Amino acid sequence: MERSGFPPNRHKRNYLLQVRSMLQGMVGSILLAAIANSALADGHSKFPNSVHATKHMVAAANPLASQAGLGVLEAGGTAMDAAVAVQLVLNLVEPESSGIGGGAFMLYWDVSERKLLTYDGREKAPLSATPEYFMNDQGEPMKWSEAVTGGLSVGVPGTLKLLEVAHAEHGLKPWRSLVEPAITLSEAGFPVSEKLSASIARAADRGLTTFDAARNYFFNDDGSALAAGTVLKNPEFAATLTMIAEEGSAPMYTGELAASIVEAVKTETNTGEMTLEDLAAYEVIKREPVCFPYRAFEVCGMGPPTSGGLTMGQILTILSNFDLPSMGPSAEAWHLYSEAAKLAYADRGMYMGDSDFVDMPEGLLNAEYLASRAALIDPEKSMGKAEAGTPPWDEAMLRSPDTQLERPGTSHFSIVDRYGNMVSMTTTIESGFGSRVMVGGFLLNNELTDFSFRAERDGKPIANRVEGGKRPRSSMSPTIVFKDGRPVLLTGSPGGSRIINYVTQSVIAMLDWGMDPQDALNMGHVVNRNGATDLEEGTEAVELQAQLEALGHEVKIRGLNSGLHAIMIDVIDLYGAADPRRDGVALGR
């Protein structure tokens, strides 16, 4: 049985039906049934609101991407094979969020080796970049809105190289066969979703009409945004993908496409510094995962240059000092959570950056240090703004905090194959529509704006300052949770600097409160990034406002647009869930 877990929603149902109609004649009956039933079918009795499967599963942010991944799994492909197909289709149907013009972090569970591997495909600054990269002519930092549009914000992309490297190690199916679904859809066209149409309209006055390629692709001749339901073709992307199908990543890093990228970043305003040498020098890095105990589980994530794994580790380790399981999702529990998040985000801003460039404290996850941080939490009163702590550190260095916050322009997918291999991958072009620079039918990232625009403050360096060849700090948090050495949960989300909150809360909801995975993703968000406590508008979370304010929290009600995609593994049973805030579905068999 397959379903999205999405509460009955007219727009999403209509979109799924349009996708199903488009797929007539393109896919087999099993996959058509998956798309047709995904919004409404019942789940397994243990978790009735989630998708149930026993063989394999994919949960991604668009039904066409999930269908492409399921098709690969049905044909006997591995989770890594499916990840290639999912990402390339997402690039086409959700172009505002991710693609080969951006970067990604991947966790891969290799069941044959019983080993967790992590792949860093984060974008890099050009080798020529200096800490003054985002300074204006007056020696002051540019405003984010001034820096984002154009080639200046584009980092050397890593997603395609990550897919190629990881596929070479873990794939079974020929590379070309995994690119074909995106080529077919690019040529035949796909229906524009409500989400994409609305995103285009919002970005019209945020730089998306600045450059001809993006303006001509996303807008009608009269300047209006493409309407939902419009069938959109992308022959230029099909041509790019055809090159990639035949030659792998080479065209993008050393060939014809590389030259086009370098030329594209030479925009008239905010000219970029990327060179052919920068592209040719790009390497995917296999790093050690960040793993830490949480109650009876081991939670594993990605290490620097993302702050996701470490910050999640701090929040959860601090909370392990409190009995959250007995509290349930109450104001008492959310108060403790918000205070723990403040403490962790304070350390994040002070210490975390690309560890290839920045010496970081070894003790950020030290249990004694985090117990001392937990002792700062008063169950009866908010601490206000938290200060960074002093974790154990062999070589102390005074630093200044960085408050640069990533914008949400990201996607996440989770995949389990029939063999037991698993992928948890978060992928991004930074803000919605990235730099707004389009080449080869895809958008280039604006990832360099994730760096601190200031190099120092009060004479002390900022860990996340710009440096040549450095990878900007991220909040992406692809996660795999283990129990007794066996994976039991994959989760992750887009959402800019709020990603850490979204993913951590999904872990708490499922592990501490035993929630059905879909119910955990449907739950209203409570977010704190060491400031006000944000409650998600239109959800049950707003009912917490009075109680949290009574505890001293500054509370703000706002839209919080996560995109969580989770799979829970219970021996042979798989339970999938897709975030109701986006177009995603979970499909399995």
Whether the per-residue pLDDT at 359 is higher than 90: the answer is no
CA 577 distance to own-chain centroid: 16
Nearest to 83 by CA among 133, 117, 37: 117
CB-CB contact of 558 with 534 (8 Å): yes
Residue 127 lies in a domain: yes
Query: Can you give the pLDDT at residue 88?
Result: 98
Number of domains forming the structure of the chain: 1
User: In the annotation, is 78 catalytic?
Assistant: no
More confident position, 27 or 459: 459
Q: Is residue 413 part of a domain?
A: yes
Torsion of CA 377, 378, 384, 386, to 10 degrees: -20
Phi, psi (deg, nearest 5) at residue 460: -115, 140
Tell me whether residue 318 is in a domain.
no
Query: CB-based contacts of 400: which residues, under 8 Å, 6+ apart?
Result: 350, 456, 457, 458, 460, 461, 462
Token digits of residue 267: 């925009």
Question: Distance (Å, rounded) from C-alpha 203 to C-alpha 432?
Answer: 8
Q: What is the pLDDT of residues 542-581, one digit of tens each?
A: 999 999 999 999 999 999 999 999 999 999 999 999 999 9
pLDDT at 398 over 60: no
Of all residues in the chain, what percent carry a pLDDT higher than 90?
A: 86
Residue 572 within any structural domain of the chain: yes
Enter the tokens of residue 499: 């990603």
pLDDT of residue 8: 41
Q: Is residue 317 in a domain?
A: no
Of the residues 149, 306, 410, 427, only one is catalytic, namely 410
* Model pLDDT, residue 36: 42
| Residues 429, 435, 437, 443, Cα dihedral to 10° | 10
As a whole number of angstroms, the distance between CA 511 and CA 319 comes to: 13
**For 47-106, how does the pLDDT look when each residue is reduced to its tens digit (9 = 90+)?**
999 999 999 999 999 999 999 999 999 999 999 999 999 999 999 999 999 999 999 999
Q: How far apart are CA 7 and CA 49, in angstroms?
A: 9
Token representation of residue 259: 């030259």
pLDDT interval class at 10 (50, 70, 90): low
Give me the sheet containing 486-491, strands edge to edge.
51-53, 573-578, 565-570, 486-491, 479-483, 297-301, 290-294
Which pTM does this prediction carry? Answer: 0.94
The whole-number pLDDT of residue 9 equals 56
pLDDT tens column, 255-314: 999 999 999 999 988 999 999 999 999 999 999 999 999 999 999 999 999 999 999 999
Burial 497-527 (b: 16+ CB within 10 A, else e): bbbbbbbbbbbbbbbbbebbbbbbbbbbbbb
Burial of 45 (0-12, 13-18, 19+ CB in 10 A): exposed
* Statement: residue 405 has pLDDT above 80: no
The chain-wide mean pLDDT, for the chain, equals 92
- 3, part of any domain: no
Question: Does the N-terminal peptide bond of residue 408 adopt cis geometry, omega within 30 degrees of 0?
Answer: no
User: Domain span at residue 582?
Assistant: 10-286+405-525+561-588
Is 394 a residue whose pLDDT tops 60?
Answer: no
**Is the four-CA dihedral 131, 133, 138, 140 of positive or negative sign?**
negative
C-alpha angle 342-345-348 in degrees, rounded to nearest 5: 155
Distances 245 to 77, 164, 238, 522 between C-alpha atoms, Å: 17, 11, 10, 38
pLDDT score at 393? 78
pLDDT of residue 5: 36
List, in sequence order, the alpha helices (H) in 472-523.
Answer: 499-511, 517-522
pLDDT at 460: 85
399-403, 418-422, 494-498: lowest mean pLDDT where?
399-403
Say yes or no to pLDDT of 6 above 50.
no
Q: Which residue has the higher pLDDT, 11 or 42?
A: 11
Mean per-residue pLDDT, 147-153: 96
Per-residue pLDDT reduced to its tens digit, 481-533: 999 999 999 999 999 999 999 999 999 999 999 999 999 999 999 999 999 99
The whole-number average pLDDT for the span 151-161 is 98
CATH number for the domain spanning 479: value is 3.60.20.40
346 within some domain:
no
**Residue 329, in any domain of the structure:** no
Cα separation of 250 and 578, whole Å? 34
Q: Give the percent of the chain with pLDDT over 70.
A: 91
Containing H/E element for 118? strand 115-121
* Residue range 121-136, pLDDT digits in tens: 999 999 999 999 999 9
Residue with tokens 């000219």, as numbered in its chain: 271
Q: In 3D, which of 366, 432, 375 has the Cα closest to residue 394?
A: 366
Mean pLDDT across 311-333: 98
